[in-house]
Structure 1
Amino acid sequence: MQRITVFFEGDGAGVGGLAWGQQQVWRAMVEVGTSMSMGGVVPVTDGRVVADFADELRFLMSRFAALRSRLIFTEPWHATSVDACHLVQQEVVAHGEAALEVHDAAPGEDPAAVAAALYAQWRARNFDYEHEWPIREAVVRHDGAVTHVVVQISHLVADGSALGTMIRDLAARDPQAPPPMPPLALVAAQRASTRQTDIAMRYWETALRSLAPRRLPEAADRGEPRWRQVVWRSPAMLPAVERAAAVLGTDTGSVLLAAYAVAFNAVTGQTAPFATQVIVSNRFRPGLADVVSPLAQNGLVVLDVDGTTPAEAVDRARRAAMNASKHAYYDPAARLALLDRVGPVDLAVFYNDRRVGVIEAQTARDTVPTAADVEAALPLTELVSERPMAYFNEKLMINVDDVVDVVQLTVEVDTHHLAIGDLHRMLAAMEAFAVSASADQAVASM
């Protein structure tokens, strides 16, 4: 393996704290003990050589101050405590050097396998937050030609949308385009946003005080692997939620959230308002669309679906989601202090609609899906995979995946709180709700 030294320089240098989204990510990273990194292996088919990738890495490091950042732990325990997020510092440097790794596949060796093995090694090794840049990049060569590029980026400095910004700017290479807001400028702006935090905390406190302390049953060992990941796919659910959204004049996200709320309460036997934390990107806020930093924070959805029709449940979900998004930008320390003051409320139930590319790529349908479209796809519902997890730091999290042509859900669950059989029933109930919401008789009242 060869290392190519890449020199870089850029603006935004200094020392400061972590931005709000970074604090949330850092807390999660400490809890699960991983860098929660993003990236992958991409085949190279356009003839680029090692020097081209060195230039690309130089561009990324120079343009995006987040990639020139490393952490400073004033006290050693700051690196391991979930309660020290607000004490962790970051330093952005003005210039320095990074390394592009070059791996040569041996004669007869599959370069794709070499690239995949390297990425697996990287994923198994946490970033050295104090001494390593939060980006790793390598190329794999075979017979002298570059066949693959491997990239890994720590979640502490970017989320999926930030990666999109970096990819777009890398393709454009416009020397006149001003760089996005650097992380320390974002930190300064957030510190001045005390009113935003105050408004958000008033919403959270009212919502928290309206909830029952427990959302799921007390822990019980059922003799099955405790932490499980389930991937479930429903081709029928997509036309169902599209049909319901079209008739109700809303978005598919509201239909899916309502399906979750109704199914959760049905399976757990609750009539109290449904509550879940949701992941809100915050990129809809002025000036934040292209910031290279994790901007997502937890929002809180509270939704009463007891005795509602599907159409009513969808409308309430739409309004609840808007309220959650509006109040999901705040100083995390203020939220933690509020939770301590209000007392124990079980908030370990999550929902994350991570459809970005799918939604952006959607075009208006010429026709609304029919009930026959939904019915024809119902036999195609499948459990794609189910595997044990080494650890899961919540009780239930449903992710709506960014997959075309179907609704695909990736679910993590603590079976001490929700048995795997109950989870399967919940997924089936979500699909049944979507089908019901798409039926003419269900939406005619709106």
Structure 2
Amino acid sequence: MGRMVVRFAGEGSGVAELSWGQREILGAMRRQGCWLALSNVAPLPAGTTLDDVADWLRFVMGRYQVLRTLLRFPADGPATQVVHAAGEIGLDVVEAGAEDPERVADRVAVRYAGHDLDLARQWPIFLAAVTRDGVPAYRVLTVCHVVWDAFGALTVLADLRRREAAGGAPPEPVTAMQPLEQARWQRSPAGRRHSEAVLRQWAHALRQMPARRFPAPADRGEPRHWKLDFVSPATHLAVQAIQSRTRAGSAQVILTLFLVALARVTGVNPSVTRVAVNNRFRRGLAGSVAVVTQYGLCAVDVAGVTFDEALARLARRVVSTFKNAYYDPDQVADLVDRIGRERGEELDVHCYYNDRRLDQDGGPPAEPPAPGQVRAALARTSSSHSPLTRRRSERLLAAVEEAPGSFRLTLEADTRYLSRDDMLACARAMELTAVAAALDPAAATGVG
């Protein structure tokens, strides 16, 4: 493997405390014991040269402050971000030889993800050009999750498409707040007032919600952390049918299904989870290449009602969840601890829900699925468990994944809190609740 040195320069530099989004994702990295690598392997157009790949790297390093940011972790103060105006970075060049360059590129991505990244000394990005006979065939990009979230990555892709369409000319200047400016606003009087208002809402919710999320912890041996992949065409059709009847968005329908299933499996009601919120609807954050997604707190009483009523209750609560999902995570953690001490019990807020679909706002189909279609699709459900070997799980993280024409749910769990059987039971409960509600508007949640 060879290496080219690429020099870069960009607008903006300075030092500030970490932004709220940076602190949020660093907390997840600490809990999960890894740097949460995000990788992309892409074929390169015919005629691409190594100089072209180096120019691409030079462009992204100069345009996005997050890629030329190092972090400091002093022993006697808060962590800070240091944005550099210029520097240099290595571009790895990997010759595939007689091997399939795509397979070589996939191996490079795995190797990057297993690298012991030092965010205080290394840029949070790795880039490789995989060549065949010296000609670039694939590009491997791996970044640390502290750089951007999914919607930040989409902004980068859109910028790159515009640059390519313009023959390499740079897109319009960056106008969205980058983490350096975000952190400065968050420390301003306006940012502090916002944070204090959010903390008041969290305090009210924390005093009202059940303290635990799961049954009593139990040692279920090793490996302790597992992932469930659950694919259900029936849930997809059932959600469409529920949308057609209620006119609710699919995101609200699916979140309600999860809250109902969680309550059925754990026996805890009101059902509580933290919901990932893309905060780019806020002033200055639209198009931000950064981590601005944070988790709002959502609690809904789903007992003794129909699914449609649970959905209506969720609709009334979710606005507050989104409104109060932009905050100082350290202050929220302190608040959780303080109110737990007031109540004399640990408050468990480690259940997370993330709808990762890019299009969550699609309306119901012109014609809802027929009941027979929904029932028949149950036979096509599939599921599989796999251990998490490179990192730990949250106590529970539920994620709705892209699955055109179907429904795909992944659950990652610490089996000390939720067993593998209960993980599958939760996914099945979502499916069966969805089908029941699709077929009968009076179907109950099944939560006592």
Question: How much has 1:233 moved relative to structure 2?
Answer: 0.6
Moved more, 331-340 or 219-228: 219-228
Moved more, 422-431 or 297-306: 422-431
Counterparts of 1:190-339 in structure 2, within 5 Å, are 190-192=186-188, 193-223=191-221, 225-270=223-268, 272-339=269-336
- Aligned with residue 99 of structure 1, among 90, 93, 116: 90
Tell me which residue corresponds to 2:423.
423
TM-score normalised by length of structure 1: 0.91
Question: How much has 1:177 moved relative to structure 2?
Answer: 0.7
Q: Is the 8 A contact 1:12 1:182 kept in 2?
A: no
Tell me which residue corresponds to 1:129.
119
SS in 2 for 1:101: strand
Question: How much has 1:316 moved relative to structure 2?
Answer: 1.3
Q: Is the 8 A contact 1:37 1:153 kept in 2?
A: yes
Question: How much has 1:284 moved relative to structure 2?
Answer: 1.8
Tell me which residue corresponds to 1:117.
107
Counterparts of 1:309-388 in structure 2, within 5 Å, are 309-343=306-340, 344-356=346-358, 358-359=359-360, 362=362, 365-388=365-388
In structure 2, stretches of 5+ residues that fail to align are 164-168, 341-345, 444-448
Tell me which residue corresponds to 2:128.
138
**Residues 251/30 of structure 1: CA separation in 2 closer, same or farther (3 Å cut):** same
The count of aligned residue pairs is: 431
Question: How much has 1:431 moved relative to structure 2?
Answer: 0.5
- CA deviations 1:375-411 (Å, max 9, x no partner) are 2211101114433546535322211112221111111
Question: How much has 1:320 moved relative to structure 2?
Answer: 2.2
TM-score normalised by length of structure 2: 0.91
SS in 2 for 1:158: coil
Moved more, 19-28 or 389-398: 389-398
SS in 2 for 1:54: helix
Question: How much has 1:95 moved relative to structure 2?
Answer: 1.3
Tell me which residue corresponds to 2:166.
none
Q: In 1, Cα distance between the equivalents of 2:388 and 2:185?
A: 42
**Residues 359/255 of structure 1: CA separation in 2 closer, same or farther (3 Å cut):** closer
Q: Is the 8 A contact 2:92 2:128 kept in 1?
A: yes
SS in 2 for 1:117: helix
CA RMSD of aligned residues (A): 2.0
SS in 2 for 1:442: coil
Q: Is the 8 A contact 1:254 1:315 kept in 2?
A: no
Tell me which residue corresponds to 2:343.
none
- Aligned with residue 142 of structure 2, among 143, 152, 160: 152
Question: How much has 1:129 moved relative to structure 2?
Answer: 0.9
Q: In 2, Cα distance between the equivalents of 1:243 and 1:213?
A: 35
Q: In 1, Cα distance between the equivalents of 2:426 and 2:31?
A: 27
Q: In 1, Cα distance between the equivalents of 2:335 and 2:426?
A: 31
In the alignment, residue 351 of structure 1 is paired with which amino acid? Answer: Y
In the alignment, residue 62 of structure 2 is paired with which amino acid? Answer: S
SS in 1 for 2:409: strand
In the alignment, residue 147 of structure 1 is paired with which amino acid? Answer: A
Percent pairwise identity? 37
**Residues 52/224 of structure 1: CA separation in 2 closer, same or farther (3 Å cut):** closer
Q: Is the 8 A contact 2:263 2:271 kept in 1?
A: yes
Q: In 1, Cα distance between the equivalents of 2:8 and 2:357?
A: 34
- CA deviations 1:252-285 (Å, max 9, x no partner) are 1111111112112222233x31111111121121
Tell me which residue corresponds to 1:406.
406
Counterparts of 1:6-85 in structure 2, within 5 Å, are 6-75=6-75
Q: In 2, Cα distance between the equivalents of 1:339 and 1:152?
A: 34
**Residues 46/371 of structure 1: CA separation in 2 closer, same or farther (3 Å cut):** farther
Q: In 2, Cα distance between the equivalents of 1:345 and 1:104?
A: 53
Q: In 2, Cα distance between the equivalents of 1:185 and 1:137?
A: 27
Q: In 2, Cα distance between the equivalents of 1:383 and 1:230?
A: 7
Question: How much has 1:55 moved relative to structure 2?
Answer: 1.0
Q: Is the 8 A contact 1:351 1:397 kept in 2?
A: yes
In structure 1, stretches of 5+ residues that fail to align are 79-83
Question: How much has 1:313 moved relative to structure 2?
Answer: 0.8
Q: In 1, Cα distance between the equivalents of 2:104 and 2:267?
A: 50
SS in 1 for 2:327: coil
SS in 2 for 1:359: coil
**Residues 35/250 of structure 1: CA separation in 2 closer, same or farther (3 Å cut):** same
